[in-house]
Structure 1
Amino acid sequence: MPKIDVEDLISLVRNYNPKTNEDLIRRAYAYGEKMHEGQFRRSGDPYFSHPVAVAAILTEQQLDDATIVTALLHDTIEDTKSTYKEVAENFGTEIAELVDGVTKLTNLQLSSSETKQAENFRKLFMAMSKDLRVILVKLADRLHNMRTIKSMSPEKQVQKARETMDIFAPLAGRMGMQWMREELEDLAFRVLNPEARSSIMRRFITLQRETGDVVRQITDDIRGELDKAGIEADVFGRAKKPYGIWRKMQEKDQGFSRLSDIYGFRIITRNEADCYRALGAIHQRWRAVPGRFKDYISQPKSNGYRSIHTTVSGRDGKRVEVQIRTRQMHEVAEAGVAAHWAYRDGVRAENPFAVDPAKWLAALTERFESAEDHDEFLEHVKLEMYSDQVFCFTPKGDVVKLPRGATPLDFAYAIHTRIGDSCVGAKVDHIRVPLWTRLKNGQSVEIITAEGQRPQATWIDIVVTGRAKAAIRKSLREEDRERFIKLGRELARVAFEHIGKKATDKALKTAAKTLGLEDGQEVLARLGSAELRAQEVIEALYPELALSTGDEVDAARAVVGLSPGQSFTRAPCCQPVPGERIVGITYRGRGVVVHAIDCPNLAEVEDQPERWIDLHWDSGRHPAVHTVTLNVTIRNDAGVLGRICTLIGEQKANISDLHFADKKPDFYRLLIDVDIRDAEHLHTVMTALEAESDVAEIARYRDPDRKQG
């Protein structure tokens, strides 16, 4: 690909900014060319052809000189002997800061592991918050790399395409740069699913052969209607990008032949009043498709996007999507947040619809500040970047913007966390609806609250906004903490009594210090949530009482006292576990069966002492493979069984079987087989279940009739 020379680049800038600083661009071009001398891309082209191509992409968005120069220099600090200091001395601090910002973004591995990815997203948003032009250069850099991706290895192509699809394309869309989002998606689609893309292209060719040039025909039809109404406007039509069509097919679960709105048309009017006149003319001529009308002129998107969207049944019943907006609205729709820097006739273009990048970023990042962990932050970022908005009203007529798919609970949290936490119901357009109802554009929402109401765990799956998820999780954490502290106190009491000590506040405070925890309350909370074992607390205070640590005990050699080669099985009647006193009974052809010392079935072999073997459990750390049956009576109510199973899982125990022993209208009695480590672990599980308000009774289930074999 031939490199664009400096005069061609200056000419591209001069087209929209006659007052450009030509000397600055010439100096940057010469400096970049010198720094990258001798470097080549994988394609064999001189490396400097890439920064120049990135600069040319940015001229299409009519950006300022500082951004164009940053594009020319964006790889110098990273890939050459150039330094921040040198760039600042030659081109000023503003450009040096921008180049440094792009360099830092290039070093972020955005497609790495979840935790690292979330941390890098934080850095991405921090870089954006300093100067959004850093992201504009990075997006143009990614676009050129995707256009020339064929020279990369297949593995690298897939990695870059996946990162583009997951991060850069949605980010471009969130910034309002729809053309860039569509091109990035389609270039990534070409790599990730070439067969699907080729299939859609082939069907397009067939469709054109059968129907002729549909775009030109419909464009002429629309122009005719506007001329009749005396509306001066430009009309543009196009077939949608292959990836856009593919995504529609996946969302609607339809084949290509049944997918109707594969064509999109834009009407660019002279003023806002003509937008609504044009809408009237279109709806008079063609029937509007219900539920497909959106007025983003009266309710703009947060990135400044304004347009009227409608879908009509056009020629031969084909659905046609039409967007109507003014020239200034169109500039923002194409450039998005970048419209803030656009130049026209040598001066910064004063577009009344261009959003202030600082305010836009503040609104975007505000949601992420409450995230307390990495996964939560990442979830927020992805939710925010992919969201398409709906606009709903409070009973007073105030507008609340929410992502598509939002529920009344999201609406409640968008107003205030306190409203969300105490929500018990909602009315949409004066009709009571379930909290999981998906809201639609223009609906009026009234939230019903009650004192004492607390967020439910099931709400996490109902809400879609990061703000609501964060608030619910925070509330649940606080509620769980109280429950875990209560449970932890009981576990600590039993563990300390076992060694003849008392779990005093002073002892717990000392243990916290040794374990590197905040205070005694944190020790109890972690004990209750099974993040910490009582044995670890004992060992922290009394190292001399520590059990032999090291590798986990082999389950096949869990008991001590057997002859070499002798195998054992646990008696199903009494289900002994490590930590309990045991005895072995020999059976012909069946090896040794281990019973608890108080098992009633031992009476049957009382007069056969030759079959008895003195055994004890290995004192090491046992795996959670010892099955114990619990007899649990729970309240018959929605969600109770799920909570019980979750509670057992929280104690790091596995449910291997579950049987309904008795079903009554108000209570269920269950026999639950749980795999546990030892007697202490069993006590932890039973105490946790006992503390649950929906559990009426719990006991260990032992059945003398359940014999070996």
Structure 2
Amino acid sequence: MVSVRKSHQMSSESFENWLADLDLSAHKSQAIEALWNSLKDVFADNYAAEKKALEMVEILASLNLDRESLCAAMLVPLIENEVIALDSIEENHGKAIFTLVKGVHQMDAIRSLQQPSGTKFASGQIDNLRRMLLSMVEDVRAVVIKLAERVCNLIAVKDADEETRVLAAKETAAIYAPLANRLGIGQLKWELEDISFRYLHPVTYKNIAKLLDEKRLDREQYMLNFVQSIQDKLDELGIKGKVYGRPKHIYSIWKKMQQKSLDFTQLYDVRAMRIVVEQLQDCYGALGIVHTNWKHLPSEFDDYVATPKPNGYQSIHTVVLGPEGKSVEIQIRTQQMDDDAELGVAAHWRYKEGSASGKVGGFDEKINWLRKLLQWQEDVSDSDELVDELRNEVFEDRIYVFTPNGDVIDLPNGSTPLDFAYYIHSNVGNRCTGAKVDGRIVPFTYKLKTGEQLEILTSKNSKPGRDWLNPNLGYIFTARARSKVQHFFKLLDKDKHIQTGKEQLDSEIQRLDLSGVDFTPAMFKRFNANNITELHAAIGNGSVKLAQVVNQLQFQLEKSKPVAEIDPKLVIRQQAEKQHVDSNGITVSGVGNLLTHMAKCCQPVPGDTIEGFITQGRGISIHRKDCDQLQNLLSQSPERLVEVQWGNIHKHVYQAAIQITAGDRQGLLRDVTTIIANEKTNVLDMSSRLDNKHHLYIMEFKLEVANNEILERLINKINQIDEIMSVTRIRS
């Protein structure tokens, strides 16, 4: 009694018969036939794509999908085999079908989720997953088409080598079957599971199939008689419904044997039937008939009508001892519930021709988890959290627990009371002081179970503990809750960052005598801040560099000074006439007897490429050509640029500052100063500090050097010392 789809053999000549057998509506048949005729020549040279296209259409037709889905399914194999280009579909077949095919193509991103947990995902993979999520939410039909394609792919590797079969089966069992289950498409879920199981465990599969087949005729006759008995009793009481035996799936049999440590002969549901009624109240009427006439096993009773499964599944399950004392599993549900269980989201997709309207009851709830996930991922700072949460939502086992008001909350298996609290609302989680499960106090590390009622205890003075973020302590399971706790502490640390940033900025303003400079709205905007407090916070948390702010203040100071006596136009006119070498060893083209000074922002030394900037009242400031501050000045006053070069420099020395970052070890300072002394370089100032957080030793030296060549040689030699990580030039 195992239902497994066989590979569909199809030739072009039998297309009309095949189409008739599908028993589609007229508009669907006409659309498929027209598309087939337009692709006939392409399929003639691509038999594998043709065969797969027809099989996909057949699967989707059995799910009652719409015309656009069937047409898209026929095109997907041609795109995958690169027979036709994706971009050509919109022009030839319309935007709706193009969007569907593109969505199916984007579903390939889901395969990356098979990487081991903890794997660092590339930004491109994360972007692909986001696009896939958006595509799934916008049109879930793309997911159904992808699942149908996976069934075809799985069948196609039946005669391939074992490695290929096993690889395809593992991917299906890990990704596609759970996705079909999450979307409630039981018809595809069972098929994907059974074929995968056959490839992964061929011996076990054959053994169970053999056991099912041994007494198949006796079992079928038994079931026919029992089905008729129940049907007669329903008719007697005027309950309209159909009773029939249902096929058992080998994977589900094996899974139950594993979970309950049972032998095949101990299983209750090898014999199974289903009662499908018209009205909800008839479900319980039929249940009453069954339990009145045959003894039931209370331990095997589940009412998923009153309490649906996380994926929306509804049905009453019971096991009774039928004639001859043999156990029989019975499922009782309405026709709508039956459609939902077998077709899932496909049962709710009723497209009107040419529009995306017509979705009926229950569809939004089916994909509400997708919408929540898509909305949540826009707020997370760590992209890998998206991967973890997507795995939890789709591929992990689910539990459902109740709020005190009786609302059902769907969570990943392994969730704790804190996961529940943060699912309800961030404030509930942040103020959580305790939790009650079914009226009893439980620790935050308690693992919730299906059917439990949860009450969260809160206090307005309570706040999260930083140890909640420790994965080894088990307080939080979901990435969503973890992200919300991290966000709380980010806001909590803001006051500390404001104070730190203010102290750092005030210190630099005092040191550089910039207290008279006003902060302008333009300056705040430059650093994505609305006011001085936000700027302090940005400096304190490191998102804005202190040096950038100071450079901007210095620029403001330059602009605010009185207009210089120097006429830039006069300087430019005179550049070709004369040159002058000043006391700093700088040759200024076209200007004589003009004061120059070395810019503190970049501290150029001979050998650096330099440029001059005519200041207002302080002569010409000499900058390295790559100086950020110079670029800021020139963006405002490009006419003040003046050509300069190093002149007679052999009698001059220049100040330069370097920062050394190293591991903390004994004798490090001695080794550095020895090299500086050997280079006959004078040290004007030196400071050091220990970075305890990162276990680093940071030294800063203010030096006198004759030129850039000496400075570079010194830096290279220091870099060769053990434990040195970096040596860079900085402002003094």
The TM-score with structure 1 as length reference comes to: 0.63
Instruction: Write the deviation string for residues 208-236 of structure 1: whole angstroms up to 9, x where unpaired.
Output: 65999667657755764665565654132
Q: Say if 1:109 and 1:120 are closer, same or farther in 2 by CA, change over 3 A.
A: farther
Tell me how far apart the structure 2 counterparts of residues 307 and 313 of structure 1 sit (CA, whole Å): 20
**2:424 paired residue number:** 415
CA deviation after TM superposition for structure 1 residue 325, in Å: 0.9
CA deviation after TM superposition for structure 1 residue 580, in Å: 5.2
Q: Which moved more, 1:170-179 or 1:270-279?
A: 270-279
Write out aligned runs for 1:13-52 (5 A): 13=22, 15=23, 17-39=24-46, 45-52=47-54
Tell me if structure 1 keeps the 8 A contact 2:269–2:319: no
Q: Report whether the alignment pairs 1:394 with 2:403.
A: yes
Instruction: Write the deviation string for residues 531-585 of structure 1: whole angstroms up to 9, x where unpaired.
Output: 99x9xx9xx9879544579xxx9x9xxxxxxxxxxxxxxxxxxx953645599xx
Q: Secondary structure at the match of 1:141?
A: helix
Q: Report whether the alignment pairs 1:239 with 2:248.
A: yes
Q: Secondary structure at the match of 2:446?
A: coil
**1:471 paired residue number:** 484
**1:65 paired residue number:** 67
**2:582 paired residue number:** none
Tell me how far apart the structure 2 counterparts of residues 77 and 202 of structure 1 sit (CA, whole Å): 40
Q: Secondary structure at the match of 2:456?
A: strand
**2:541 paired residue number:** 525
Instruction: Write the deviation string for residues 69-98 of structure 1: whole angstroms up to 9, x where unpaired.
Output: 111122445545645675444433322332
Tell me how far apart the structure 2 counterparts of residues 454 and 37 of structure 1 sit (CA, whole Å): 68
Aligned pair partner of 1:127 in 114, 126, 135: 135
**1:169 paired residue number:** 177
Write out aligned runs for 1:145-160 (5 A): 145-150=153-158, 157-160=165-168
Tell me how far apart the structure 2 counterparts of residues 618 and 108 of structure 1 sit (CA, whole Å): 61
Q: Say if 1:93 and 1:117 are closer, same or farther in 2 by CA, change over 3 A.
A: closer
Tell me if structure 2 keeps the 8 A contact 1:67–1:133: yes
Write out aligned runs for 1:170-209 (5 A): 170-191=178-199, 194=200, 196-202=201-207, 205=210
> Amino acid of the residue matched to residue 199 of structure 1?
T
Q: Report whether the alignment pairs 1:577 with 2:666.
A: yes
Tell me how far apart the structure 2 counterparts of residues 397 and 32 of structure 1 sit (CA, whole Å): 54
Tell me if structure 2 keeps the 8 A contact 1:513–1:519: no
Tell me how far apart the structure 1 counterparts of residues 109 and 382 of structure 2 sit (CA, whole Å): 23
> Amino acid of the residue matched to residue 373 of structure 1?
D
**2:148 paired residue number:** 140
Write out aligned runs for 1:493-642 (5 A): 521-522=537-538, 524-525=540-541, 544-547=656-659, 577=666, 579=668
**1:332 paired residue number:** 340
Q: Say if 1:501 and 1:316 are closer, same or farther in 2 by CA, change over 3 A.
A: farther
Q: Say if 1:502 and 1:3 are closer, same or farther in 2 by CA, change over 3 A.
A: farther
Q: Which moved more, 1:420-429 or 1:260-269?
A: 260-269
**1:55 paired residue number:** 57
Aligned pair partner of 2:349 in 341, 354, 358: 341
Tell me how far apart the structure 2 counterparts of residues 488 and 617 of structure 1 sit (CA, whole Å): 37
CA deviation after TM superposition for structure 1 residue 337, in Å: 0.4
CA deviation after TM superposition for structure 1 residue 238, in Å: 3.8
Aligned pair partner of 2:381 in 372, 384, 395: 372
Tell me if structure 2 keeps the 8 A contact 1:61–1:342: no
Q: Secondary structure at the match of 1:47?
A: helix
Q: Say if 1:409 and 1:289 are closer, same or farther in 2 by CA, change over 3 A.
A: farther
Instruction: Write the deviation string for residues 481-536 of structure 1: whole angstroms up to 9, x where unpaired.
Output: 6668888999x89x99xxx99999x9xxxxx9999999664564359xxx99x9xx
Q: Secondary structure at the match of 2:27?
A: coil
Tell me if structure 1 keeps the 8 A contact 2:430–2:485: yes
Q: Say if 1:119 and 1:184 are closer, same or farther in 2 by CA, change over 3 A.
A: farther
Q: Say if 1:263 and 1:480 are closer, same or farther in 2 by CA, change over 3 A.
A: farther
Tell me how far apart the structure 2 counterparts of residues 480 and 260 of structure 1 sit (CA, whole Å): 58
Aligned pair partner of 1:100 in 102, 118, 123: 102
Tell me how far apart the structure 2 counterparts of residues 216 and 459 of structure 1 sit (CA, whole Å): 59
Tell me how far apart the structure 1 counterparts of residues 87 and 216 of structure 2 sit (CA, whole Å): 61
Tell me how far apart the structure 2 counterparts of residues 259 and 478 of structure 1 sit (CA, whole Å): 57
> Amino acid of the residue matched to residue 149 of structure 2?
D
CA deviation after TM superposition for structure 1 residue 174, in Å: 1.1
> Amino acid of the residue matched to residue 168 of structure 1?
Y
Tell me if structure 2 keeps the 8 A contact 1:32–1:48: no
Structure 1: gaps (5+ residues): 40-44, 507-511, 556-574, 584-613, 620-646, 653-675, 681-709
Tell me if structure 1 keeps the 8 A contact 2:501–2:538: no
Instruction: Write the deviation string for residues 585-641 of structure 1: whole angstroms up to 9, x where unpaired.
Output: xxxxxxxxxxxxxxxxxxxxxxxxxxxxx999999xxxxxxxxxxxxxxxxxxxxxx
CA deviation after TM superposition for structure 1 residue 465, in Å: 4.5
Tell me if structure 2 keeps the 8 A contact 1:337–1:357: no
Tell me if structure 1 keeps the 8 A contact 2:499–2:536: no
Q: Say if 1:38 and 1:542 are closer, same or farther in 2 by CA, change over 3 A.
A: same
Tell me how far apart the structure 1 counterparts of residues 220 and 86 of structure 2 sit (CA, whole Å): 51
Q: Secondary structure at the match of 1:110?
A: helix
Tell me if structure 2 keeps the 8 A contact 1:9–1:56: no
Tell me how far apart the structure 2 counterparts of residues 426 and 524 of structure 1 sit (CA, whole Å): 37
Q: Secondary structure at the match of 1:370?
A: coil
Tell me how far apart the structure 1 counterparts of residues 535 and 357 of structure 2 sit (CA, whole Å): 58
Tell me how far apart the structure 2 counterparts of residues 100 and 69 of structure 1 sit (CA, whole Å): 13
Q: Secondary structure at the match of 2:427?
A: helix
Q: Report whether the alignment pairs 1:297 with 2:302.
A: no
**2:720 paired residue number:** none
Tell me how far apart the structure 2 counterparts of residues 396 and 79 of structure 1 sit (CA, whole Å): 53
Tell me how far apart the structure 2 counterparts of residues 502 and 203 of structure 1 sit (CA, whole Å): 86
**1:663 paired residue number:** none
Aligned pair partner of 1:451 in 418, 443, 460: 460
Q: Secondary structure at the match of 1:3?
A: coil
Q: Secondary structure at the match of 1:309?
A: strand
> Amino acid of the residue matched to residue 93 of structure 1?
K
Tell me how far apart the structure 2 counterparts of residues 380 and 480 of structure 1 sit (CA, whole Å): 26
Tell me how far apart the structure 1 counterparts of residues 128 and 215 of structure 2 sit (CA, whole Å): 50
Q: Say if 1:391 and 1:82 are closer, same or farther in 2 by CA, change over 3 A.
A: closer
Tell me how far apart the structure 1 counterparts of residues 244 and 467 of structure 2 sit (CA, whole Å): 49
**1:637 paired residue number:** none
Q: Say if 1:380 and 1:223 are closer, same or farther in 2 by CA, change over 3 A.
A: farther
Q: Secondary structure at the match of 1:325?
A: strand
Structure 2: gaps (5+ residues): 1-7, 518-523, 551-599, 604-655, 680-690, 700-732
Tell me if structure 1 keeps the 8 A contact 2:402–2:454: yes
Tell me if structure 2 keeps the 8 A contact 1:577–1:678: no
CA deviation after TM superposition for structure 1 residue 424, in Å: 0.6
Q: Report whether the alignment pairs 1:437 with 2:526.
A: no
Tell me if structure 1 keeps the 8 A contact 2:169–2:197: yes
Tell me how far apart the structure 1 counterparts of residues 179 and 255 of structure 2 sit (CA, whole Å): 17
**1:270 paired residue number:** 277
**1:280 paired residue number:** 288
> Amino acid of the residue matched to residue 19 of structure 1?
A
* Pair member with larger Rg: 2
**1:307 paired residue number:** 315
Tell me if structure 2 keeps the 8 A contact 1:21–1:65: yes
CA deviation after TM superposition for structure 1 residue 145, in Å: 0.7
